[in-house]
Structure 1
């Protein structure tokens, strides 16, 4: 693995907007959680934690990691090979698949929100808050999932700036409406947690409107219903050959994470609140990994489409090195300022929750570089059209390392919640080693295929 200075500029050009986009996505949710925590305390934080995990699980499995990944990879390789019509066919297919999945998921979340939260074992007060929040957020799920697929099309031909602008619009709208609707400021009604949900719906709708308008008017790849009429069975097979393993990979990771969240509920509301705060902060930290992974997928995909295998290797290795280094720097903040970061979420009187959350965050510092390496190497493989390897690795590490350790230590032994973070550090280390080896092997084989 070597660093290419000549490739670094292109990696940064695509990665930085993608990084900032992902940071904004998580920043708005984190600040949303901060405001909710300051409004309603530990119970409100716990409710948001349960709700967020459920929403993230279903949306990422079907669109965020399945349909969007397939769309970016196929559009990138088709565009890189100079086949614009094929790229537009894949773009159309991806957006329609996302819209259909989003509609189904939004309806299911709305209908079964209360049952799902109660089944998770949350306390009665937490369950009541979470179910009301989820029923409103169900509408936002549709907008956010379709937005994810539209942005995937844009990234496919190397446009990461428009998705960043869409995230900026979403973030600013969400924060302004949060401030007004949660606390009753700016002449708006005081709606508490439900106000946060309404703000999310409006913000996601505006973001989708912006990206869709740009795509239809100025994008180099313009989807349209006319492309469906000429779509052959091979395109469908290619799309599902990539999207299904990618969805299964996210399903493997998310289901283990969600089951772990349910086990944490059994440790009590304070443990759940502490874990939620630490997770929210960490969610921002690993966004650079996602940003570099998105850039790597697009750049490697374009180079593979062009037949430039040496260029693909240079972009891949440079992306992994740069992204992991950035996350290594961020991990230092978790080690030096964990208590200060956690304190942003709650007011006085809950020092024990703050200290527990700070310990979780400090332990989480050790998983940042390996998490980055895992994300980006998986992104490289997807850019090459390989979604099966990331799925196989994540299935192995999630179900044979992370899940057994969580069941034994958290469910049966009832160890403190910070032990969850020790487990995930071990999990990310194993995941990164296996994915890096797979990526290196696939890249070396490119010129010999």
Structure 2
């Protein structure tokens, strides 16, 4: 592979700039992922059956939330490109942010409709009716967090585009003790609270996201470096052209993220057909793999901003440095994580379960899944950073097709065949996930390497940042 080489100093500057932006985003991703991980931890202590039910609920919301998050993520490269151009950037950034919140409101309504009928949906997917009932109970507390999650991330995209992620990290870090305390109190009935079980876990998450969204809102209104953008001024005024263009750019991002997240959700439902213990083991292994994934995802988010800034400036060498720096950081980290998961699978699974005889099989199954997860860590890092750098070039449609083909036509198909035809059961499902991730990773890398020949750097990203009639 040929990596563009220029003066060493410029690479060092890009490395520092990427890390400066990425590490708060990484830690923020880790703290946000910990909300679900904390729910999984406490529910795992509450009961294996309850853990399996919550796994079904979270895997349903995970795919839907990713699609919605991807749609509003269109604002990130748009704001970064506007900032790279410089001219009229305050008004342009404000308009993009405003429409991203409009999008969040738009997509929340159908998401709520689905989650309010989750018991029926889960039943259609062939799952145990008792687990479906408990999953719906959890979601009655959890589904209200959907809009709060999207609103927080719309504000987070704004701070990231300005390369000012410190507040994001501080607010997100506060979610860990808050959610832990609420889970402990509301699930088990401690600290004077009623014992609400799985419903308590859902309520705890909603309260946590509400606190985070309010805190971020207060920061944007009061911090001097953000006040000048007046993000919420005349918020009711429409910008229909920008709204349509954000759908055009964001829907492929959302579908691509949904295809990726959805394949893990589909894997959970296939695992439910294998058995309750396999599903519980899958839930824990997936949480561990998801925490690891937060690092390259944060690097990918930083790469979208860095590549978008260089794209706005028309700096082809800068685009190359930004993309390859992110790629090496993401793949390098996941290579280290692969060794870690391979070495300590049982110990990691054991962190989430009480050491009792009835959990012995769950721990063994979870450890076998983590061994497969160790194998696909590297390609998982490659595909997510690949999607991030292409997104910085406003290239979203073809990567979306890559994810559909790789994850759904090949990955989940191979996993189902290995699980139920070859008799590999849960290990077969995880093996299919690894195959899908590898294919998508290779396709993303090839497209990035051919970006000039494909004309990805010559297209003028003008329409989405065209002036609106009012502001």
* Partner secondary structure for residue 425 of structure 2: coil
Question: Counterpart of 1:261?
Answer: 268
Match of 2:20 in 1: 13
* 8 Å Cα contact 1:54/1:258 also seen in 2: yes
Quote the Cα distance in structure 1 between the aligned partners of 2:119 and 2:184. 26
Asked if 2 retains the 8 angstrom alpha-carbon contact of 1:106 and 1:138, the reply is yes
Contact 1:37 1:346 (8 Å CA) reproduced: yes
Q: Distance in 2 between matches of 1:303 and 1:406?
A: 40
The Cα RMSD (Å) is 2.0
* Number of corresponding residues: 444
Q: Which moved more, 1:209-218 or 1:310-319?
A: 209-218
Q: Does the Cα contact within 8 Å between 1:300 and 1:312 map onto a contact in 2?
A: yes
- Please state whether the residue corresponding to 2:135 is helix, strand or coil: helix
Give the counterpart of 2:402 among 393, 402, 417. 393
Change (3 A) 1:447 1:263: closer
TM-score relative to the length of structure 2: 0.89
1:232-381 to 2 correspondence within 5 Å?
233=241, 235-347=242-354, 348-349=356-357, 350-381=359-390
Which residue, out of 395, 407, 419, partners 1:410?
A: 419
Unaligned runs of 5+ in 1: none
After TM superposition, give the deviation of residue 29 of structure 1 in Å: 1.5
1:225, distance to aligned residue in structure 2 (A): 5.2
Aligned counterparts of 2:418 and 2:16: Cα–Cα separation in 1? 45
Aligned ranges 1:426-445 → 2 under 5 Å: 426-442=435-451
Change (3 A) 1:230 1:174: closer
Instruction: Tell me the SS of whatever aligns to 1:286.
Output: helix
> 1:78 deviation in Å?
0.9
Aligned residue number for residue 52 of structure 2: 46
CA contact (8 A) 2:341 2:374 kept: yes
Partner of 2:95: 89
**Contact 2:390–2:448 at 8 Å: present in 1 too?**
yes
Distance in 1 between residues matched to 2:131 and 2:423, nearest whole Å: 21
Is the Cα contact below 8 Å between 2:144 and 2:206 reproduced in 1?
yes
SS at match of 2:143: helix
Which residue of structure 2 aligns with residue 76 of structure 1?
Answer: 80
* 1:215 pairs with 2:220: yes
1:263-292 superposed Cα distances (whole Å, 9 cap, x missing partner): 221111011111111101111011101100
Structure 2: any 5+ residue segments left out of the alignment? 6-10, 460-471
Residue 414 of structure 1, CA deviation: 4.8
Deviations 1:79-114 (A, max 9, x none): 22112211111110001111232244224412x022
Alignment partner for residue 164 of structure 1, among 162, 165, 169?
169
Match in the other structure for 1:65? 70
The superposition leaves residues 378-414 of structure 1 with CA deviations (integer Å, 9 ceiling, x where unpaired) of 1011111111121021122123311321332234455
Candidates 125, 148, 156, aligned match of 1:143: 148
How far apart, in 2, do the equivalents of 1:397 and 1:447 lie? Answer: 25
